[in-house]
């Protein structure tokens, strides 16, 4: 089952546009609990018909740890109330930091019968993407007060930066005429 | 001996008809029966052609007393299995201590050229460049038909001179190229028994493998081989056991077609003169094809055919003894000479006649094939045409020439003239026929050499990146050769190296339309499409190739390029890795993989990829360029400059490389040098927009606003839709204080690029209002393109927005 694109939320489109990159593959994922066969792999397999099912006490946690400090601009979560009903999370808290004992909550989102991708933009007080070692996505409550939760897919986006180097300006031309000469492949 | 011959002949028969399973089986039985060198060689050949290289390798492995052909085959197997040391040892086995290749000629005789080619390849793989060059040059001296050696010389960076290389100096040379063609002649139709007598007498040295006319089972194969309705072509063909089916008819049909399509080729078609079979009426001296009119050709053909039909009976009878060389049919007069090799030769020879196949050996790397074929296998069209031409050849001399397969026959010292003489019936015209034949041979070869010289010059130019001259030379090839896919591909490549992607794509798309199954150079095509961002065409190309051949690295390179264009870099990486897996010796796959890793910021992996590419091909300037890019991303500009310079030393005309060097120099604060570099770049390629852009930005950074403005205005004419140009002009104006002009340009820039992917535009608002100039505050290089570093994901603000972003440009992480 392909991942449904909500009307205005489509992480893939942004990836294709070349502004951002999905950096989940550079991180180590762990869960607070899961049912066998419904774990991290199902959370990261690009399929909407497989999901993570937790198997413990609220809050259920998804821990994402990077090897280096990574700039994060967006988090996308795919959930579906129609399929999961009481397993659908209703309140999600995003915490970031350096390690387990040093994380702070930066975002709380409330969902109401979501169906598809939920976009959580990550910004600090200065409205810039944050640079962190670790993200923790915590499900604090579910619809209909369910105990366990289903989450079908999570994507993490990092902006493609043009650092302080003249070289990268080569890649930013808008016209094909200039862009084709920008580099040698 | 008696046991061997028919079986051997049968095995060669199977091999010639690609029935490798049977060949393997029979050779195993033969080898069990007779453990001789010859049978071992046959067994190994059968295995090799059946694709069981390792098997062939192992059975040939420990034979220290092997014959030259066995050693050569072992060398090839070892090379294919990447056991280079062993391959080299076995080829140089009997050299006295030193590593020299001088004795190869005596050792290997006819195969010497190929042995040298193999030695060259081994040396190239083991990074002994000088030795490789030496080996290939020697090979070319022995056999100038070996185009692949010439190509390898060019690729490795040597500058061979095509004029000197592609020459046929003497007949000796020619015979070396043909293998035992001279030998082959005897097997050719021999009309009377008397002739065979002549054969005997006229040989200088008694070559072991000369006479076909050995006594054995004359009728067995003869019946199978010849049918009464033989066409003129049939007669010689019988030898191979090939039914010369409808040969005549084919001949007739073919002639007009080939003739009408194109001007006569300079080689390959001239053996229409039917001066064989000793008929006096046929000894019309025939000029090389280029001079002959195809109508007269057709006429002659018809006449020839008629005559043959009339004579076919006699021919048939006379030939019978000859035909069964495979079975060593004896002529009654001639003594039997045990022919270990001859049967095989003969069978192969005649099959070669018709199949126009390039090699009896499958992995025959040398393009010394049918002399009538073009040197590098270009389009099928030419091949077909030439094979049709071959079908036309009726004369025995054509067979002589078509049998130019370099094989493992023992080299003969008999000169061609003698043997040809021997093949002629003792008629008055015999001698003149032979001379004509030699003459024709030479002319045909000369025609090919002429073509090779031209192509060689063009190829040499291309490998030295003198693209303009290369293109000229390629355009001046004769039209029938010019319209081949290979030449078009070379033209495409030449334009590609000049960064003229539009023209390049034009040529390649023609090639792809004509021959959708052609795989070579499609990776270059795909990169050109990538540059031009033609997604649809590239996707279609990828689809086609994936359906065609999943085992070629080129297919996966093209697919990877396609996904990279769609910005799906992970998938692209997956495909490039697949390309590397499929063929670890294909450098371009590594280069493309490296570029993808750079895009996903995995610089260490990218570095290892580029290093692999460079290890495989030190002249692969794209890889050197990639390494330079990595260093520049890591801000190690000095190293970047060095690597770019290395790339430039290989391809000195690329303005893109020069641009990058200029930018790096600018980053190193060597602005004078940078400017000089840009000037060179623009001189090389006056219309290159990139150079102008960077020169303009450097002027701006240096504060030379007037020049910057001039440059950018010119650029605006060339590339009117590039938002960065307007942005830069806006900044210049702002610096100059022309706020209104600046604002105008900024707004144009934003119009052209609303998404603000070039996030530099965000800063436009601030400078426009005379705020603190972000330029001054920028810590690193002065180049105006530095702005993006400070605002990574700003919400895009309209140019005039008082409220927006007061702190942004000053902030840094």
Quote the domain boundaries for residue A24.
Answer: 6-179
pLDDT in tens, B423-438: 445 555 778 888 888 8
Per-residue pLDDT for B804 more than 50?
Answer: no
- Contact flag A172-B690 (C-beta cutoff 8 Å): no
Of A76-85, B127-136, B410-419, the range with the lowest mean pLDDT is: B410-419
pLDDT above 70 for B508? yes
pLDDT in tens, B627-664: 999 999 888 999 999 999 999 999 888 888 998 898 88
Please state the rounded mean pLDDT for residues B32-54.
91
- Checking if the pLDDT of B334 tops 80, the result is no
Look at B788 and A162 and tell me if their CB atoms are within 8 Å: yes
Strand-pair category, A115-121 with A74-80: antiparallel
Q: Give A138's pLDDT tier (boundaries 50, 70, 90).
A: very high
B697: confidence class by pLDDT, cuts 50, 70, 90: confident
pLDDT at position A14, please?
79
Least confident of B85-99, B442-456, B574-588, B792-806: B792-806
Over residues B82-107, the mean pLDDT reads 77
Stretch B686-694: mean pLDDT, rounded?
A: 82
Q: B199 or A139: whose pLDDT is higher? A: A139
Q: List the structure tokens of B226.
A: 């010849």
Q: Considering only CB atoms, which chain A residues are within 8 Å of B656?
A: 181-184
| Contact indicator for B239, B29 with CB cutoff of 8 Å | no
Which of B290, B238, B254, B287 is closest to B386 using CA atoms? B254
Contacts of A158 in chain B (CB under 8 A): none
In B, which residues are within 8 Å of A23 by CB distance? none
Q: Do B719 and A175 touch (CB under 8 A)?
A: yes
Chain A residues touching residue B723 (CB < 8 angstroms)? 174
Check residue A64 and give its pLDDT.
94
Mean pLDDT of B297-320: 46
B256: left (phi over 0), alpha (psi -120 to 50) or beta: alpha
- 3-state SS, residue B636: coil
- For residue A119, list its beta bridge partners: A76
Contacts of A174 in chain B (CB under 8 A): 721-724, 752-753, 757-758
Indicate whether B612 pLDDT > 90: yes
B202 or B581, which is more confident: B581
**pLDDT attached to residue B63:** 76
Give A143→chain B minimum CA distance, Å: 34
pLDDT reading at B292 higher than 50: no
Residues in chain A with CB shorter than 8 Å from the CB of B779 are 164
**Closest to A176 (Cβ–Cβ): which among B532, B629, B785?**
B532
When CB atoms are compared, the residue of B622, B632, B757 closest to A167 is B632
Q: Is residue B396 over pLDDT 90? A: no
Distance from C-alpha of B254 to C-alpha of B267, rounded to nearest angstrom: 17
Tell me how far apart the alpha carbons of residues B641 and B662 are, in angstroms, rounded to a whole number.
Answer: 9
Domain assignment present for A36: yes
Residue B405's CB is within 10 A of a number of other CB atoms, namely 27
DSSP assignments along B30-97, one per residue: HHHH---HHHHHHHHHHHHHTT-HHHHHHHHTT-TT--HHHHHHHHHHHHHTT-HHHHHHHHTTTS-S
pLDDT (mean) for B306-318: 45
Q: Do B660 and A167 touch (CB under 8 A)?
A: yes
Interface of A with B (CB under 8 A): 15-19, 21, 25, 71, 73, 126-129, 131, 159, 161-170, 172-185
- For residue A102, tell me if it sits in a domain: yes
Nearest-neighbour CA in chain A from B590: distance (Å): 11
Tell me, what's the pLDDT at B582?
94
Q: Are B659 and B633 in contact (CB under 8 A)?
A: no
Specify the higher pLDDT residue, B601 or B771: B601
How much of chain B exceeds pLDDT 70, in percent?
60
Predicted pLDDT at B57: 92
Residue B354 has pLDDT above 80, yes or no: no
Q: What is the mean pLDDT of residues B560-567?
A: 93
pLDDT at residue B653 in the model? 84
For residue B408, is pLDDT > 70? no
Rounded distance between C-alpha atoms, residue B591 and residue B622, angstroms: 7
Longest dimension (CA), chain A: 58
What is the SS3 string spanning B505-563? HHHHHHHHHHCCCCCCCHHHHHHHHHHHCCHHHHHHHHHHHHHHCCCCHHHHHHHHHHH
Q: Residue A6's CB: how many other CB atoms inside 10 A?
A: 14
Measure in Å the smallest separation between the Cα of A132 and chain B Cα atoms: 12
pLDDT at B380: 42
Measured in angstroms, the CA of A79 and the nearest CA of chain B are apart by 24
H-helix or E-strand spanning residue A115: strand A115-121
Say yes or no for a CB contact (<8 Å) between B757 and A172. yes
Give, to the nearest 10 degrees, the angle between helix B193-202 and helix B294-323.
Answer: 90
- Rounded distance between C-alpha atoms, residue A181 and residue B722, angstroms: 13
pLDDT in tens, A141-153: 999 999 999 999 9
- Interatomic CA distance for residues B57 and B80, integer angstroms: 10
pLDDT-derived band of residue A173, with 50, 70 and 90 as boundaries?
confident
With beta carbons under 8 A apart, name residues in chain B contacting A164. 635, 779-781, 786, 789
Q: Which of B567, B621, B693 sits opposite A178 (nearest CB)?
A: B693
Partner residue facing B657 (CB), from A131, A179, A184: A184
C-alpha to C-alpha distance for B784 and B663, rounded to whole angstroms: 12
B696/chain A closest Cα distance in angstroms: 14
Q: Alpha helices, DSSP H only, in chain A?
A: 11-17, 40-43, 81-84, 176-179
Least confident residue range of B397-411, B452-466, B499-513, B629-643: B397-411
DSSP B264: P
Residue A165: list chain B partners with CB under 8 A. 632-633, 635, 667, 780-781
Please give the tally of structural domains in chain A.
Answer: 1
Q: Which of B588, B690, B702, B720 to mutate to test the interface with A (most CBs of A within 10 A)?
A: B690
Structure-token match 């040499």, residue found: B460
pLDDT at residue B466 tops 80? yes
Distance CA(B51)–CA(B32), nearest Å, equals 21
CATH at residue A165: 2.60.120.260
Contacts of A66 in chain B (CB under 8 A): none
3-state secondary structure B767-782: HHCCCCCHHHHCCCCC
Give CA separation, B18 vs B22, B73, B175, B367, in Å: 9, 18, 27, 20
Residue B246 region by backbone torsions, left for phi larger than 0, else alpha for psi between -120 and 50, else beta: left
Taking the C-alpha atoms of residue B77 and residue B55, their distance in angstroms, rounded to an integer, is: 9
Give the pLDDT confidence score for residue B34 in this predicted structure.
86
Residue A167 lies in a domain: yes
Q: Give the model's pLDDT for residue A103.
A: 92
Interchain CB distance below 8 Å, A177 and B663 = no
pLDDT at A96: 94
Q: Which two tokens stand for residue B478?
A: 């004769």
What is the predicted pLDDT for the residue at B783?
A: 38
Pick B713 or B793 by higher pLDDT. Answer: B713
Q: In this complex, do A173 and B501 lie within 8 Å of one another by their Cβ atoms? A: no
Is B795's pLDDT higher than 80? no
Q: Could you tell me the two tokens for B399?
A: 């067979």
Residue B543 to residue B537: CA distance in whole angstroms: 10
* pLDDT at residue A1 in the model: 58
Average pLDDT, chain A: 86
**Residue contact B724–A174, C-beta within 8 A:** yes
Strands (DSSP E) found in A73-112: 74-80, 89-97, 103-110
pLDDT tens digits for range B511-550: 999 999 999 899 999 999 999 999 999 999 999 999 999 9
Tell me, yes or no, whether A185 lies in a domain. no
Give pLDDT, residue B272. 45
pLDDT in tens, B712-770: 888 888 888 888 888 888 888 888 888 888 889 888 888 887 765 445 555 555 555 44
Q: Cβ contact (<8 Å) for A180 and B813?
A: no
Q: What does the pLDDT read at residue B727?
A: 83
* Percentages of chain B per state (helix, strand, coil), in multiples of 5: 65, 0, 35
Question: In this model, does residue B419 exceed pLDDT 80?
Answer: no
Average pLDDT, chain B: 70
pLDDT of residue B430: 78
Which chain B residue's Cα is nearest to A15? B567
Return the pLDDT at B216.
36
Give the separation between CA B659 and CA B674, rounded to whole angstroms: 9
Interface contacts (A, B; CB < 8 Å): 138
Interchain CB distance below 8 Å, A169 and B635: no
Nearest CA in chain A to B525: A185
Report chain B residues whose CB lies below 8 A from the CB of A172.
724, 757-758, 760, 788
Question: Residue B595 and residue A185: Cβ atoms within 8 Å?
Answer: yes
Is A1 within the bounds of a domain?
no
Q: What pLDDT, in 10s, does the model give residues A27-75?
A: 999 999 999 999 999 999 888 899 999 999 989 999 999 998 999 999 9
Identify all chain A residues contacting B658, using CB atoms and an 8 Å cutoff. none
Q: B410, B344 in Cβ contact below 8 A?
A: no
Measure in Å the smallest separation between the Cα of B787 and chain A Cα atoms.
8
Percent of chain B with pLDDT over 90: 29
Range scoring the smallest mean pLDDT among A174-178, B190-194, B704-708: B190-194
State the burial class of residue B571 (Cβ atoms within 10 Å of its Cβ: 0-12, 13-18, 19+).
middle
Would you tell me how many other CB atoms lie within 10 Å of the CB of residue B600? 18
Task: Locate B85 and state its tokens.
Answer: 């040391």
The CA distance from A116 to the nearest CA of chain B, in Å, is 22
Query: pLDDT at position B765, please?
Result: 55
- Average pLDDT on B494-503 reads 90
Dihedral of CA B508/B512/B514/B515: which sign?
positive
Measure the CA–CA gap between B488 and B511, rounded to whole angstroms: 7
Local confidence band at B358 (pLDDT 50, 70, 90 cut-offs): very low
A112: number of Cβ within 10 Å: 8
* pTM reported for the whole predicted model: 0.69
- pLDDT beyond 90 at B583: yes
């Amino acid at each position: 089952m392909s991942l449904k694109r909500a009307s205005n939320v489509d992480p893939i489109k942004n990836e294709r546009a070349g502004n951002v990159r999905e950096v989940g593959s550079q991180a180590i994922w762990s869960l607070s609990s899961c049912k066998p066969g419904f774990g991290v792999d199902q959370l990261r397999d690009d399929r909407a018909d497989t999901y993570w099912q937790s198997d413990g006490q609220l809050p259920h946690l998804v821990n994402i740890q990077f090897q280096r400090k990574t700039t994060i601009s967006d988090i996308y979560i795919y959930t579906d109330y129609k399929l999961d009903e009481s397993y659908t999370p209703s309140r999600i808290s995003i915490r970031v930091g350096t390690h387990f004992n040093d994380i702070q909550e930066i975002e709380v989102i409330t969902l109401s019968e979501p169906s598809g991708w939920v976009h959580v933009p990550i910004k600090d007080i200065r409205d810039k993407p944050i640079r962190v070692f670790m993200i923790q996505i915590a499900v604090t409550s579910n619809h209909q007060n369910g105990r366990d939760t289903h989450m079908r897919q999570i994507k993490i986006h990092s902006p493609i930066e043009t650092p302080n180097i003249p070289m990268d300006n080569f890649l930013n031309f808008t016209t094909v005429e200039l862009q084709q000469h920008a580099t040698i492949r | 001996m008696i046991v061997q011959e028919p079986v051997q002949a049968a095995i060669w028969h199977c091999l010639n008809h690609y029935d490798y399973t049977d060949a393997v089986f029979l050779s195993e039985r033969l080898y069990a029966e007779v453990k001789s060198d010859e049978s071992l060689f046959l067994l190994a050949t059968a295995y090799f052609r059946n694709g069981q290289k390792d098997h062939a390798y192992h059975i040939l492995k420990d034979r220290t007393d092997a014959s030259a052909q066995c050693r050569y085959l072992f060398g090839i197997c070892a090379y294919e299995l990447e056991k280079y040391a062993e391959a080299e040892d076995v080829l140089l086995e009997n050299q006295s201590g030193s590593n020299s290749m001088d004795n190869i000629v005596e050792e290997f005789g006819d195969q010497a050229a190929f042995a040298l080619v193999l030695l060259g390849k081994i040396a190239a793989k083991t990074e002994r460049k000088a030795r490789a060059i030496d080996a290939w040059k020697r090979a070319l001296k022995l056999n100038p038909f070996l185009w692949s050696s010439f190509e390898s010389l060019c690729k490795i960076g040597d500058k061979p001179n095509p004029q000197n290389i592609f020459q046929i100096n003497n007949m000796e040379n020619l015979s070396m190229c043909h293998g035992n063609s001279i030998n082959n002649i005897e097997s050719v139709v021999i009309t009377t028994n008397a002739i065979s007598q002549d054969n005997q007498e006229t040989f200088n040295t008694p070559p072991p493998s000369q006479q076909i006319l050995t006594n054995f089972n004359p009728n067995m194969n003869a019946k199978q081989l010849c049918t009464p309705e033989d066409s003129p072509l049939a007669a010689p063909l019988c030898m191979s056991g090939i039914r010369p089916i409808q040969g005549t008819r084919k001949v007739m049909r073919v002639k007009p077609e080939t003739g009408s399509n194109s001007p006569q080729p300079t080689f390959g078609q001239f053996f229409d003169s039917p001066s064989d079979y000793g008929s006096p009426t046929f000894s019309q001296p025939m000029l090389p094809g280029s001079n002959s009119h195809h109508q007269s050709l057709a006429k002659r053909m018809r006449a020839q055919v008629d005559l043959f039909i009339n004579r076919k009976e006699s021919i048939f009878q006379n030939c019978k003894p000859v035909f069964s060389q495979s079975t060593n049919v004896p002529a009654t007069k001639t003594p039997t000479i045990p022919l270990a090799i001859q049967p095989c030769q003969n069978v192969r020879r005649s099959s070669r006649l018709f199949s126009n196949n390039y090699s009896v050996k499958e992995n025959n790397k040398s393009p010394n094939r049918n002399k009538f074929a073009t040197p590098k296998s270009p389009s099928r069209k030419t091949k077909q045409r030439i094979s049709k031409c071959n079908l036309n050849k009726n004369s025995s001399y054509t067979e002589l020439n078509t049998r130019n397969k370099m094989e493992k026959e023992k080299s003969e010292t008999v000169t061609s003239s003698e043997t040809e003489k021997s093949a002629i019936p003792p008629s008055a015209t015999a001698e003149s026929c032979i001379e004509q034949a030699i003459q024709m041979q030479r002319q045909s070869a000369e025609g090919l050499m002429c073509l090779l010289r031209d192509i060689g010059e063009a190829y040499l130019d291309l490998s030295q990146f003198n693209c303009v001259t290369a293109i000229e030379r390629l355009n001046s090839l004769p039209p029938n050769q010019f319209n081949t896919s290979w030449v078009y591909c070379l033209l495409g490549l030449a334009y590609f190296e000049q960064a003229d992607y539009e023209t390049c794509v034009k040529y390649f798309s023609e090639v792809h339309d004509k021959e959708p199954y052609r795989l070579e150079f499609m990776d270059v095509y795909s990169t050109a499409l990538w540059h031009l961002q033609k997604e649809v065409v590239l996707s279609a190309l990828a689809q086609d190739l994936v359906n065609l051949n999943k085992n070629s690295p080129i297919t996966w390179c093209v697919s990877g390029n396609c996904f990279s264009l769609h910005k799906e870099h992970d998938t692209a990486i997956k495909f490039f890795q697949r390309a590397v897996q499929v063929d670890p010796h294909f450098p371009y796959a590594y280069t493309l993989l490296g570029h993808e890793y750079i895009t996903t910021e995995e610089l260490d992996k990218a570095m290892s990829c580029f290093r692999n590419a460079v290890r495989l091909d030190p002249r692969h300037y794209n890889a050197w360029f990639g390494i330079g890019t990595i260093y520049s991303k890591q801000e190690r500009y000095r190293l970047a400059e060095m690597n770019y310079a290395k790339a430039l030393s290989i391809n000195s005309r690329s303005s893109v490389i020069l641009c990058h060097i200029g930018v790096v120099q600018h980053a190193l604060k060597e602005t004078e040098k940078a400017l000089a570099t840009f000037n060179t770049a623009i001189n090389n390629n006056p219309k290159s927009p990139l150079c102008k852009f960077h020169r303009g930005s450097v002027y701006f950074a240096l504060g030379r606003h007037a020049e910057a403005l001039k440059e950018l205005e010119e650029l605006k004419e060339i590339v009117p839709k590039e938002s960065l140009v307007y942005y830069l002009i806006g900044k210049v104006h702002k610096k100059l204080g022309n706020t209104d002009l600046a604002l105008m340009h900024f707004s144009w820039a934003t119009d052209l690029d609303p998404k603000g992917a070039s996030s530099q535009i965000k800063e436009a608002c601030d400078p426009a209002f005379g705020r603190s100039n972000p330029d001054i505050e920028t810590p690193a290089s002065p180049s105006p393109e530095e702005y993006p570093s400070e605002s990574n994901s700003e919400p895009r603000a309209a140019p005039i927005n008082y409220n927006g972003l007061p702190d942004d440009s000053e902030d840094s992480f």
